[in-house]
Chains A and B, each alone.
Chain A
Amino acid sequence: MTETDRLSHYLCIGCPLGCRLEVEETDDDIIVRGFTCKRGKLYGRQEHTDPRRMVTTTIAVRGGRWPRLPVKTRDTVPKALVREVCAALRDLEVKAPVAIGTTVAANVLNTGVDIVAARDMPLA
């Protein structure tokens, strides 16, 4: 492994400063550089070892005030699964009325995370 193979770069999202983080992975440690605060250091480590995202998208809803229902993952899922989560919901359709917080798809892609409605959808 060469020196550059061990380095990864991230843009910190904690504040508008946008620190350029450099993460070096040695055999027994992960070293974060370039941060200017504690949150930045934690973010660099998290983003390098296990980047996770909330997924927000919409699904079809029949008979509601609007044709689309906003939904979200109840918790974060691995970043690499974001596209697949959306793809898995593409053909899902629910019937109005739907209450906020209702699970519309349980344990999506076996992540252990449910997809829930992000609003009430009253009848049209």
Chain B
Amino acid sequence: MLTEHPVHLNDHYDVVVVGGGPAGMAAALGAREAGADHILMVDREKDAGGILWQCIHNGFGLHHFKEELTGPEYAQRYLEQVIDHNIDVLTDSYVYDIDRDKNLLVMSGSKGIHRIGGRAIVLAMGARERTRGAIRIPGTRPSGVLTAGLAQKFVNMQGYLPGRRVVILGSGDIGLIMARRLTLEGVEVIGVFEIMPHVNGLNRNVVQCLHDFDIPLHLSTTVVEIHGRDRVEKVTVAPVDDQLRPDLSKAWDIPCDTMLLSIGLIPENELSRRIKLRLDPVTTGPQVASTMETSVDGIFACGNVVHVHDLVDFVSQESELAGTGAGEYVTGHRRPADNIRLVPGDNVTYCVPQTISTDREHTVYLRVRHPERKCTIHFGDVYRRKLAYVFPAEMVTVKLQPRVLQAFHGDTLNVRVEARE
């Protein structure tokens, strides 16, 4: 049975991991593997494991565990390893301040307020959902407007239904998943409304969450007004033109008591800003070196706090690397500094990590701006790979071998995706 060891909180640790979700768990294990002795992982919930506990659907782990797991199964497998490796897990606790000397101020439900120092820190705070304020929907402010992920926690963990007649705004995966989930719980889901001309989530979820249950998907359509005094009574929706401007002459009203928002995630970087880490303007997360080290020595970052991932498997992979970096930092093993900066070029919005070195293999994650069939990704003139397709919603992963970099003597590589004839 999943039981965390009781924590005897110390003042100093080799590595402190902030956040116990998939990123934090993989980082803690990576640090242990790399030889760090005293490791603390702090999480604000009563179980570490993060968002995975409420993602009860399957589809996780195909890359990492080579089998298809539900979110809770993926979380438990990781958490068991964390416990087995004697990593201190401090739950029900929140890191609310940090300084550049790697001191943390921790507020704990069971242990009060503590100042804890780490020789290395891993930031793994994840991301939060965008809310109504992020897209400024006009109307009144009744109850019944909530994010899809919050509704997911209510339904799957706490056993509350958020309403009886639901409109979903945004076609992100959590929104699609919740359309099915609520339908199976007997809630009427009137439809999913997406302002863009294409769906944001996976085709798999369009088929298995919407088509399977005859839930309508309205593309190029958005909510233009919310009505209701105490509780949502109806929403007004309208089609948009190619500039995304709503055509109010074609608007119609939908009576409902609840609206769920599935409109994207924001990396949770309050602590990063507090210590003035250098941030990437596109990802809004910290810029990281190939060891996942931020602009401050000994402070590492990984997972959705760095950039929003679409698969947890890639979070685990990237975060293990951050943990290795932190572990090596405290055991005094230093790798050669990065000597190449990756610069996003044509049809590339960002690359993580932002810098790499020529001495070893690197996995580079990047996203494109617009879809393309039959294209080639170029890293300067030193490496190129053909791709059958790219989509903005799907992260592109490229492995770079040291041999392709050894002949390169510049300091920046332009990364671009070009159509093939």
Q: How large is the interface on B (under 10, 10 to 19, 20 to 34, 35 or more residues)?
A: 35 or more
Q: Are A122 and B2 in contact (CB under 8 A)?
A: yes
Stretch at the interface among B9-17, B200-208, B404-412: B200-208
Residues of A close to B207: CB separation below 8 A:
10-11, 13
Q: Are B158 and A17 in contact (CB under 8 A)?
A: no
Q: What's the Cα separation between A13 and B204 when bound, in Å? A: 5
Separation in Å of the B126 CB from the closest CB of chain A?
Answer: 20
**Candidate in B46, B156, B211, B391 with the most chain A CB atoms within 10 angstroms:** B156
Q: What's the Cα separation between A72 and B389 when bound, in Å? A: 33
Residues of A close to B117: CB separation below 8 A:
none
Residues of B close to A112: CB separation below 8 A:
none
| B 379-398 contacts with A by CB, 8 A | 388-389, 391, 393-394
* Interface of chain A, main secondary structure: loop
Q: How large is the interface on A (under 10, 10 to 19, 20 to 34, 35 or more residues)?
A: 20 to 34
Q: What's the Cα separation between A72 and B12 when bound, in Å? A: 42
Q: What's the Cα separation between A6 and B208 when bound, in Å? A: 23
Residues of B close to A68: CB separation below 8 A:
155-159
Q: Are B184 and A70 in contact (CB under 8 A)?
A: no
Residue of A nearest to B46 (CB): A65
Residue A63, interface by CB 8 Å:
no
Separation in Å of the A55 CB from the closest CB of chain B?
Answer: 8
Q: What's the Cα separation between A96 and B11 when bound, in Å? A: 35
| B 70-85 contacts with A by CB, 8 A | 70-73, 75-76
Q: What's the Cα separation between A101 and B333 when bound, in Å? A: 41
Residue B243, interface by CB 8 Å:
no
Residue of B nearest to A16 (CB): B391
| A-B residue pairs in contact (CB < 8 Å), sample of 21 | A11-B207, A12-B203, A13-B208, A15-B203, A16-B389, A17-B388, A18-B203, A54-B68, A56-B58, A57-B184, A60-B159, A65-B46, A67-B158, A68-B157, A68-B159, A86-B185, A97-B1, A100-B73, A118-B70, A122-B2, A122-B3
Which residues of A does B touch, CB under 8 Å?
10-13, 15-18, 53-54, 56-58, 60, 65-68, 70, 72, 79, 82-83, 86, 97, 99-100, 118-120, 122
